[in-house]
Amino acid sequence: MSDSRVPRKRRFLVCEPRHFAVQYAINPWMRPDVTVDVELAQEQWRELLRAYRVHGHTVETVEPVPGLPDMVFAANSAVVVGGRVFGSLFHAPERRPESLHYDTWFKAAGFDVRRPESVCEGEGDLVFTGRYVLAGSGFRTTRAAHHEVQEFFGVPVIGLTLVDPYFYHLDTALFVLDDGTHSREENIAYYPDAFSPGSREVLARLYPDAVVATREDAMAFGLNSVSDGLHVFVAPGATALADQLDRRGYVPVPVDLSEFQKAGGGIKCCTQEIR
């Protein structure tokens, strides 16, 4: 199996955690009384960049803005497919100004940006699988935004309902292992109990061969991973998940972003993919 797995080079956009902090609480992980070690966060974040680059991926950066402590979570800023950028409109007023800074970056990089009309938190809730956009709702991104996304990309959008506040964004409960570029079948890994019963059935129907993760894996941010089709950049605490990936012929690359978990974020949250 492992011989058949082929990595695809990715283009990532990230934002340095220079102004990262937990100053408000908009998900159950965030406790404003807990202090963040910004230096450790910077070191962990640089390790993530090193891991991406060592494995052949391109990493670009957007300048962080003082007063926007969650701007480091680049995934939430947009979804980009085929060079088309669908921007963000945050649920929390504290995060709303981030969108403008990301839009400015995209425009300077030569992209047009479509502004959403309804609350939409980018790749946090909109996961492009290769064939579909899996779209979360329940806590942040709205169903109305799912419709906008389908019209904009012309890609089938599959709506999924999130039910556990610890997994408030789709990308905390599910990630794409293989987008089908080099294999016959796209595939995902996910934590079923984060979803409503109907959404669980949809996922089982679409991905009968998915990697199904435990609550421990999910609580360790194991589902907030980035896969290039062979290497899976994954939180080191998700040990059962890493074993499963290994058995399936993937190569887990552990990257510890423990400081970011204090804000409810992990590897994928810090990573926007430009397709």
72, 45, 56, 81: which is closest to 273 by C-alpha? 81
Q: Which amino acid is at 102?
A: Y
Closest-CB residue for ligand ARG?
Answer: 269
- Cα distances (Å, whole numbers) of residue 272 to 122, 205, 210: 9, 28, 23
SS3 216: helix
Region binding ligand ARG by CB under 6 A among candidate stretches 42-50, 58-66, 168-176, 186-194: 168-176
Is residue 270 part of the annotated active site? The answer reads no
Is residue 269 part of the annotated active site? The answer reads yes
Query: Taking the CB of residue 104, how many other CB atoms lie within 10 A of it?
Result: 13
What part of residues 172-211 is at the interface with ligand ARG (CB under 6 A)?
172
Nearer to ligand ARG, 69 or 252 (CB): 69
Among 265, 267, 272, 273, binds ligand ARG (CB under 6 A): 265
Under the binding rule (CB under 6 A), the answer on residue 98 touching ligand ARG is no
User: Sign of dihedral through CA atoms 189, 82, 68, 46?
Assistant: positive
Dmax (CA) of the chain: 48
Region binding ligand ARG by CB under 6 A among candidate stretches 45-53, 209-217, 232-240, 262-270: 262-270
Q: Alpha-carbon dihedral of residues 162, 151, 268, 52, nearest 10 degrees? A: 160
Nearer to ligand ARG, 252 or 265 (CB): 265
**Residue 113 C-beta: closest distance to ligand ARG, Å:** 19
Facing residues of 89 across strands? Answer: 120
Structure tokens given for 229: 């089709």
SS3 118: coil
What part of residues 31-70 is at the interface with ligand ARG (CB under 6 A)?
70
Under the binding rule (CB under 6 A), the answer on residue 262 touching ligand ARG is no
Active site residues: 169, 269
Residues in contact with ligand ARG by CB under 6 A are 26-27, 30, 70, 73, 75-76, 95, 124, 169, 171-172, 263-265, 269
